[in-house]
Structure 1
Amino acid sequence: MPISFDTTGFHRLDQNTWQHPSGDQAELTYYGLVPDLPAGLDDLPKLRHDLALVHGESGCLVEAHVVQLDGVPALLRIVKVPLPNQPNGQAFICSFTVPKANCSAVLQLGALERGMTGAREAVLAAEIGFGNWVRPHPYAPELEGRLPFHAGDDPRYDARFPDHPLSRVRAWAHHVVRTARLDPQFAALPPFQVQAPPPVAPGQTLVTALPSLPVKDFVGLQIGEETTYWRMTDPKLGEMLGRGLMGRSPLTDTRFRDMLLIDVATGEAMIPDRFTTDGNMTAHGTHLVQVSLSQADAELSDDDVVDAFKWAGRMCGEAAGRGEHLSLEPIQHQGEQADPHVLLAVRPHEGQRVVIAQFSPPPAGGPFAGSPSRSAPATAESVEGIGVIAGMAANEWRSHPLRLAITYRRSTG
């Protein structure tokens, strides 16, 4: 793996996961994609601002810094999120991202509040005063996130509360900075750089399009009431779909889909970034070639379709990190949730993370006949597998995978 770190005191669960007796869990992940950072490491103010907006949707960015990991620049961030399906408590996640031009490596530690929660906050709020407790976010003062930025998360208080999960992930971060090592070949790769958005060509007419599940090099686009089909000529759209990076179109107050802007006549498209900085939209250019459904279908194998549903499962796993779950449904669904659909989510259950597929209506035939749901402990394999299970259930709908879409919904609890 690209990063090696001191695992003293940790028990190895699998090739990329380690657990500490405290329950804290370390994970090491390699992504063979262009990093999804909103700015380069050389533009820390914009990077911090946009990351604060991103993490504000599911929790709060506590801090972000550019550090040297074995002599290579890396992004260190600490995020707090509510414990899902629990009335109180928070999880703190410390991560190191080493971005390269076409890939990245991420090392992270997650620590959960257990037992009586909120003790650190209660003690410090009484000392500091409730009037001075909640503060504007230092990276994005205009932000009103899901969790507040408050005085109690300041590192000066860690020594008084060494067993608090925030104190633990900070102490681990300091140790990693001192001791981690990078694979020399990975360290020597070209650095990550943000590409400037392309200008809109004169005379271009752009309309909003909502994409389907991508299958191999093809994607369906819902434009108004019509579903059209397109071949992707470069990897950009595939790299951004499903990851919470693209601009979104609301179906209702709580349901959203990825969206792009396309000139149907030329196939020139712009993929807007989800968040803006100082009111300025940034976007990425791509080119699509329109095809018929039969032309696309002729080039797709059964393995291509299975890979598409595995991708949907992985996107379910990524959505959980944003405090969201997914609905796999016909692309024509444009309003409130309706049948048929499959909900995909990763959630905590009895002390472990599980991946869940909920079918509505339950399948009438096949291996899941009459079953309202399927679940399994969340691993890389089961997260992919739950997408395949969703595809098997969706097979009853007699809808081509290019006519299926992913819709985001924020998890509750």
Structure 2
Amino acid sequence: MFKLFRKKKVTIDSIKIPKFGLKEVENTKEEQAFVNQEQTLVLLKNFFDLEPDLPTIKDIDFLRKFYRELIAPNGGALIEVDLLQLKGFATVKTIFKFPMDPKGMAYVGSITIPFENYSYVVKVQAAEVGMTGMRDAVILDKLMGTKEVFIGDDDEIKNWFSDPYDSEITNPGLRNKSDARQYDAEFPEHPLSLVRKMLDNIEQEIVFDTKLTEIAKFDK
């Protein structure tokens, strides 16, 4: 009982990020949501007043395996999973993509900031609309031309799909070479480019309340 009174009071506003010109569509004690004018990109900030469900923030290989297995049932592909120190706070950064029905891909990028009894998740979501697959097609054609990607004896495309961290993984739902950051500049309006750019901006602009330095850290 006395432990409850000793908990430091933190809220969703204990971390702040700019609106980046987006329109606010929700503001509660658990979630703040923003969308762009075209309603093709969503920015979410969530506060969870409970112990994080992350398995670890120390073992990056185990964490990547955890996320692979988590998104696999929905056909998700892992694009990035990294650990970073964000202004002194241990953080998990992820980017996944998921197939949409009937076509196209949705991209979800997140920055998770865990504490012992709380966590914050800033999430950016964007999806292909209209003509889909253009980025994939252009980069595939380019890499076929340089022979970096080729058609094998079994008539399958080789060296196009791969897990970003483990070349031995051959599961369905892998990222392809066009998902690499180096191609964002060629396709600045592609949803993956927009998600990455927004996450980069959030990393630069996020502000942490000083109260958070007094909160017990997530230590698994």
Gaps of 5+ in 1: 195-413
Kept in 2, the 8 Å contact 1:80–1:93? The answer is yes
Return the letter of the residue paired with 1:117. T
Counterpart in the other structure of 2:184? 158
Kept in 1, the 8 Å contact 2:43–2:123? The answer is yes
Alignment of 1:2-401 (within 5 A): 2-15=14-27, 16-22=32-38, 23-40=40-57, 42-58=58-74, 59-83=76-100, 86-129=101-144, 130-139=157-166, 141-142=168-169, 144-145=171-172, 147-194=173-220
User: Are residues 44 and 34 of structure 1, via their aligned partners in 2, closer, same or farther at CA, if it must alter by over 3 Å?
Assistant: same
Q: Secondary structure at the match of 2:137?
A: helix
Distance in structure 2 (CA, Å) of the matches to 1:35 and 1:61: 21
Distance in structure 2 (CA, Å) of the matches to 1:180 and 1:103: 18
User: Are residues 103 and 154 of structure 1, via their aligned partners in 2, closer, same or farther at CA, if it must alter by over 3 Å?
Assistant: same
Kept in 2, the 8 Å contact 1:28–1:108? The answer is yes
Distance in structure 2 (CA, Å) of the matches to 1:34 and 1:143: 33
User: Are residues 108 and 187 of structure 1, via their aligned partners in 2, closer, same or farther at CA, if it must alter by over 3 Å?
Assistant: farther
Kept in 1, the 8 Å contact 2:164–2:175? The answer is yes
Counterpart in the other structure of 1:217? none
Q: TM-score, normalised by structure 2?
A: 0.80
Kept in 1, the 8 Å contact 2:42–2:126? The answer is yes
Distance in structure 2 (CA, Å) of the matches to 1:100 and 1:141: 33
Kept in 2, the 8 Å contact 1:63–1:78? The answer is yes
CA RMSD of aligned residues (A): 1.7
Distance in structure 2 (CA, Å) of the matches to 1:104 and 1:95: 12
Distance in structure 2 (CA, Å) of the matches to 1:185 and 1:140: 42
Q: CA deviation at 1:133?
A: 1.0
Q: CA deviation at 1:99?
A: 0.5
Kept in 1, the 8 Å contact 2:162–2:169? The answer is no
Structure of higher RCO (CA pairs closer than 8 Å, 6+ residues apart): 2
User: Are residues 144 and 29 of structure 1, via their aligned partners in 2, closer, same or farther at CA, if it must alter by over 3 Å?
Assistant: same
Alignment of 1:397-412 (within 5 A): none
User: Are residues 193 and 139 of structure 1, via their aligned partners in 2, closer, same or farther at CA, if it must alter by over 3 Å?
Assistant: farther
Counterpart in the other structure of 2:153? none
Q: TM-score, normalised by structure 1?
A: 0.44
Q: Taking every aligned residue pair, what percent have the same amino acid on both sides?
A: 28
- Structure ID, larger Rg: 1
